[in-house]
Amino acid sequence: MRTNLLVANWKMYKTPAQAAEFVREFLPKISNKSDEIVICPPAISIPATVTALEGSRLGAGAQNLHWEKEGAFTGEISAPMIVAAGCSHVIIGHSERRQYFGETDTTVNKKLRAALDVGLTPIVCVGELLEEREAGITDDVLRRQCSIAFREISGEQARKLTIAYEPVWAIGTGRTATPQIAAEAHATIRAEVAKALGDELAQKLCMLYGGSVKPENIVELMAEEEINGALVGGASLDPKSFAAIVNYRSAKA
Ligand code: PGA
C-alpha cells in the first residue's frame, strides 16, 4: 500500500487555543494508520499545534516562508524558523498567495530552494485559472509554473518535493475537478518534473489534489492512481469533517 499525504490548510483561521482544541478533538477520530497527515495552521498557531500533536504521528507545516534565512523583512518567517518551530512541511505558491500577495513563479522557485536547503518537505501549489482552462491553455500554464519553480534544483536536492495541483476555479467554490481532470493535470506535471528533475524522481513524486475536497468526494479522488493525497482547505477546519476525509480508506471498505 502506498503512503499518501493528507494536508489541512487552515489559511487564516484558528487562534492558538482553537488549534489546540481542534487537535484534541481530531486525534481520537483518526482510524487511518497508513497515510501521512499534516496540519498547516497560521504561523502564530504553529507552536500550539505542535505541542498538541506531541506523541501523535501527525506532522505540522507552515503556509508560507521567506527565502532568506533572516534579515530585515518585516512580517516574514524563514525556513530555519519553521524547522525550529517543529514543522516538517511548508506550503509554497498557494494560489491565494499568487493572487493577493504578489507571489510569482520566480518567488516560488526561491522559496522552494530555501525549503529544500533545510530539509523541509515543500508542497508546491500549481494550477490554472478558470479563464486559462476555458482558453485551453491549462497544460501550458502548468508547464510554465513547474519549469520556473524547478530552476537550479537537482533531482538529488528535490527528493522531498511534493506538488499540489489546485485548479484555482475549484478552490473554496464547491466545484471539484473530476478525478479525470485531476489525473490529466497530474500527468502533465509529472512529465514536467521528469524533464527538469529526472525520471526517477518523477515516478516517485507525491502529487496531491486540492480544491473543494470534502468527505463526499475524497474516496473517488483517492481511487485515481495519479492522486497521492489531498490539500484540504475549508473542510479541514472541522475535526469531524477532516477526520472523515483522512479516514477515506475505511469509507471504501
Ligand atoms: P478548499 O481550499 O478545500 O477550501 O477549496 C483548498 C486550498 O486552497 O488549498
Contact status, residue 34 vs residue 14, Cβ threshold 8 Å? no
94 flagged as catalytic: yes
Ligand 1 contact via 232 beta carbon (within 6 Å): yes
Whole-model pTM?
Answer: 0.96
Ligand 1, atom 2, residue with closest C-alpha: 233
What spacing in Å lies between the alpha carbon of 232 and ligand 1's midpoint?
Answer: 5
Ligand 1 pocket test target in 5, 6, 7, 9 with most atoms within 8 Å of CB: 9
DSSP H stretches of helix in the chain: 16-26, 46-53, 79-84, 95-100, 105-117, 130-134, 138-149, 179-197, 199-204, 218-222, 239-246, 248-252
**Cell triple for 10:** 487552515
Ligand 1 contact via 212 beta carbon (within 6 Å): yes
- Which atom, in ligand 1's list, is nearest to the CA of 213? 3
CATH classification at residue 137: 3.20.20.70
Report the domain count for the chain: 1
- Which atom, in ligand 1's list, is nearest to the CA of 91? 9
Band of pLDDT at residue 3, cut at 50, 70 and 90: confident
pLDDT digits (tens, 9 = 90+) for 71-121: 999 999 999 999 999 999 999 999 999 999 999 999 999 999 999 999 999
Catalytic site residue from 36, 94, 103, 128 = 94
DSSP state of 158: G
pLDDT digits (tens, 9 = 90+) for 111-150: 999 999 999 999 999 999 999 999 999 999 999 999 999 9
Catalytic site residue from 96, 103, 128, 166 = 166
Enclosing domain of residue 56: 5-252
